[in-house]
Amino acid sequence: MKKGRLDVISGPMFSGKSAELIRRLTIQDIAQKKIVVFKHGLDDRFGRPQDISSRNGNYLSAISVTKVAEMNEHLDFDNLDLVGIDEIQFFDRDELVALCKKLVDEKGISVIVCGLDSDYLQVPFETTAHLMALADSVYKTSAVCMQCRDTDAVYTHRVFGGDNRVEVGSDNYEPRCRSCRVNVK
Ligand SMILES: [Zn+2]
């Protein structure tokens, strides 16, 4: 029986999460694995709604969905090796966890997911946190702090915008390190 695994890539904004997801999926694509890639419909940055984009300019064709149920319509379990999912924090926790378990444990299909670990108040995103706990591997990314410029930034700081948990738009945020994040409160 095929054996699947679950890998999670997670960190703050501007830390190259999507670039790492694209890199991993690309090398599997070169190996002619059968791959389906999903992204959340909320994230249409860089104007290519059918792609996962990274800030280094790379992209990968992806199916844009807003609900986990929509993913099922695109999954042919008998003809699939790998599923990639970007921006997992936007998806329902229980639904996405159930789908990942089904793919990995029942179907032997590997899953690589990518998303923010916590919101601008440093509260973990439930979907990401849960998948991290179940994963075979977790790769934490960090950015460069926009205040001191020389320390690993692990937080997404909201510069502009209201109090809603999700405010889409990278202009509203900057990565900050532990020291600089503490100092603004
Ligand atoms: Zn700093």
Residue numbers belonging to the annotated binding site for substrate: 166-169, 173
The C-alpha R_g of the chain, in whole angstroms, comes to 16
Eight-class DSSP state of 34: -
122 class by beta-carbon count within 10 Å (0-12 exposed, 13-18 middle, 19+ buried): middle
SS3 state at 161: coil
State residue 131's pLDDT score: 98
Mean pLDDT of 117-144: 96
State residue 44's pLDDT score: 58
Residue numbers belonging to the annotated binding site: 166-169, 173
Taking the CA atoms of residue 2, residue 104, residue 41 and residue 120 in that order, the dihedral angle to the nearest 10 degrees is -140
Among the listed residues 20, 70, 73, 87, the single catalytic one is 87
State residue 43's pLDDT score: 61
Reported as a single tens digit per residue, the pLDDT across 86-95 is 999 999 999 9
Query: Has 87 been annotated as catalytic?
Result: yes
Mean pLDDT of 160-167: 84
Residue 89 CA, ligand 1 centroid: distance in Å: 25
Mean pLDDT of 119-138: 96
Confidence of residue 163 (pLDDT cuts 50, 70, 90): confident
Reported as type and span, the H/E element at residue 179 is helix 178-183
Residue 144 CA, ligand 1 centroid: distance in Å: 8
Please give the domain boundaries of the chain with CATH numbers for all domains.
Answer: 6-142 (3.40.50.300)
Q: Is the pLDDT of residue 84 over 70?
A: yes
State residue 133's pLDDT score: 98
Q: Is the pLDDT of residue 7 over 80?
A: yes
Mean pLDDT of 107-136: 97
Confidence of residue 160 (pLDDT cuts 50, 70, 90): confident
